[in-house]
Amino acid sequence: MKRFFIILFASLAALLPAAAQRLTVGGYGEVALSRNFYSDNVYRYSSAASHQGEQHGRFDIPHAVIYLGYDFGKGWSMQTEIEFEHTGTGAAAEKEFEEAGEWETEVEKGGEVELEQLWIQKSFRPEFNVRVGHMVVPVGGLNNAHEPLNFFTVYRPEGESTILPSTWHDTGISLWGRTAHWRYEAQVIAGLDAYLFNTENFIKNGAGSPFEFKAANQLGFVARVDNYSVENLRLSLSSFYGRAFNNTYPYEVIAETSRYAGVVGRTAVGAFDFEYKGRRFIARGNADYGYVGDAAMISYMKRNRSANNAPYKKSAVGKGAMAFGCEAGYDILPWFRQGEERQLFVFGRYEYYNPFIPDAGEEPAEWTVKNRIAVGLNYFPIPQIAVKAEYSHRFLKAGYNPEPSVSLGICYMAFFKR
């Protein structure tokens, strides 16, 4: 018996290191401190003159994420990602900008806990892999690279994170592969829900679900292509297409005599993004355009058919939205110290975005058109940690107050075991 246990423990000791080598543990997190020199009152756009000179501050932990992955061998692997947003969950009350300042209660006090990824993958070769489960939807530059060391600003770039789900994640199947100079990915996922589109955020909330499941009466189709032919440069195109009308619970059969007969809510997004990452100079940019068919009818439906206590906003949906952004940073630390791992980037960013391009018959919401500039510093004491300082200024159309702010942040992104 003693000899048996000696052999057993010796076998386990030999197996454990091999198993540990197959495990991947990592994550990222952000802390943000801001002073916003503009009002956060729900009437700051409808009564701009009444809210001049107001200001407010916000301290936040936007995201804290844990990665867990495992390589089973023979081409089989899995990956999970658990995200804590804004420190936790619970019940919170908020005022709605688009509903005359009404109070609404939502189960999200402090934020959310979400399972952003849980997929199983079979890799046949580098050029062909199949992934099934819950995964990131890589439409746009931010969704493709949403970790905090992949942008200079304290908070995620505003344009894409305003008009698109961020981080966009959904359940489906993915085919992807990589060669020396190309990477491709095609996904079939659950479609968006037009009831969750709104004036302020276009289709951003459409990937979510207020229920315990995700309605998939309609499907969404995603494609992305990345090119790496030029050293240090990535050029990318990505897109989404799907029908968003009647993709909710409960599913309703639309009669041929109904005013909603023929309404499908075709939703399409096209995006270009790039990144140049040299030794001392980094530049990134994006250009995104989104379109929603039958937007006027969807807006009418939301206003007139949603129950008062339904988990949907009744604001109008734009037929289109756009976002453009670019940023560049230069490491100035070698001017003062040579041969060090540390870096100090001076950066600037410009963005233009508008989540509401109205359909015929809808009044424009002039306050949705925004230009934003940001300048600041990113200090990397080690490659996995960044300390960020930023001044930003958001410009709105004439008649609205400008929105300047100062923000400080610290973030990390690392694999602890791989």
Domain of 359, CATH number, reads: 2.40.160.10
11 inside domain: no
6 inside domain: no
- Whole-angstrom distance, CA of residue 112 vs CA of residue 201: 18
The arithmetic mean of pLDDT across residues 128-134, rounded, is 98
The arithmetic mean of pLDDT across residues 53-63, rounded, is 94
Could you report the per-residue pLDDT of 175-195, keeping only the tens digit for each?
999 999 999 999 999 999 998
395 inside domain: yes
Does pLDDT of 1 surpass 60? no
pTM over 0.75: yes
Does pLDDT of 418 surpass 80? no
pLDDT at 9: 45
What's the domain range around 272?
A: 26-417
Does pLDDT of 100 surpass 80? no
Could you report the per-residue pLDDT of 282-299, keeping only the tens digit for each?
999 999 999 999 999 888
Percentage of the chain beyond pLDDT 70 is 88
Does pLDDT of 123 surpass 50? yes
Question: pLDDT band for position 105 (50/70/90)?
Answer: low
- Whole-angstrom distance, CA of residue 162 vs CA of residue 321: 10
254 inside domain: yes
133 inside domain: yes
Out of 9-13, 45-49, 244-248, 255-259, least confident range: 9-13
391 inside domain: yes
Mean pLDDT of the chain: 89
8 inside domain: no
111 inside domain: yes
pLDDT at 307: 57
Number of domains in the chain: 1
The arithmetic mean of pLDDT across residues 105-133, rounded, is 86
